[in-house]
Amino acid sequence: MEKKVWFITGISSGLGEAIANKVMESGDFVIGTFRKQEQVQAFNGKNSGKGRAVLLDVTDYATMEKLVSEIAAIDVLVNNAGMGFVGAIEESSLKEVRAVFEANFFGVLKLTQLVLPKMRAQSSGHIVQISSHGGFKAFAGFGIYNASKFALEGFSEALAQEVQPLGIKTIIVEPGPFRTNFAASGLGEAKNIIDDYNQTAGNFRNRLKGVNGKQEGHPEKAALAIINAVNSENNTLRLPLGKIPLSTMKMKLDSVLNDLEANRKIAEAAVFD
């Protein structure tokens, strides 16, 4: 079987690192991104012939464009790099919100657009979008992060329909809490704190930090699930990972269904006779 080339963003730690390691163990080749030159050098020193590290900040579009143009073929794109953010909607400044969207939405969108011509030319490929169960259901105190991941899922859902006839598959991965740096160094916070939100957004912030290191999710097991999904003939559009997403996503579905049924007559009456 011919080696696949995986382009994975954000492989310095957490899920990205786990995916990169498991891909190399499987015999495929990894091109992975880091934000520090010393990390690039360390990775390349250890993984000659199995992978290659490159320097990239996913909000640096000029570097991204040059980098992708120099890669002959990409079989699997994993948009993993991003950032967390906690804060009530009112607490969040536009500057903070834009930073979250640059990393979690615009950077992913741009890289996906750059890689698609290569996949169209070879009539094959996988786009793997690392979203979150928070990309499907919102939580008080997590609204800005939720919004960025909702946006990611929105364009990815449409993308899946656009590229499926071209031989390209799309997978939206929706992890719950995993034992990564997400709730520590990977977490941004609104600088403005409003006491009125202590019981909602503030409570969420404290709970999120409190579970750091105790999350249910196992990054290596998640990485294997993602690799298996890519190699499967029958992968689904959405791939929840962890027990918590099964619960939270079903809560959202039940809530939407309840709203539909509660408003069915109102909805049906708002049309021309």
List the chain domain ranges: 5-243
**What CA–CA distances, in Å, run from 120 to 108, 125, 146, 169, 185?**
18, 8, 31, 11, 37
185 annotated active-site: no
132 annotated active-site: no
What are the pLDDT digits (tens) for 211-221? Answer: 666 677 789 99
Q: Using an 8 Å Cβ cutoff, are 6 and 75 in contact?
A: yes
131 annotated active-site: yes
What are the pLDDT digits (tens) for 82-103? Answer: 999 999 999 999 999 999 999 9
What are the pLDDT digits (tens) for 20-56? Answer: 999 999 999 999 999 999 999 999 999 999 999 999 9
For 138, list phi and psi in degrees, rounded to 5: -90, 155
For the domain 5-243, what is the CATH code? Answer: 3.40.50.720
Please identify which of the residues 12, 149, 169, 197 carries the catalytic annotation: 149
Write down the mean pLDDT value for the chain.
94
Question: Per this entry, what is the length of the chain?
Answer: 273
- Give the pLDDT mean for 73-84: 96
* pTM of structure: 0.94
Please identify which of the residues 12, 92, 131, 156 carries the catalytic annotation: 131
pLDDT band for position 208 (50/70/90)? confident
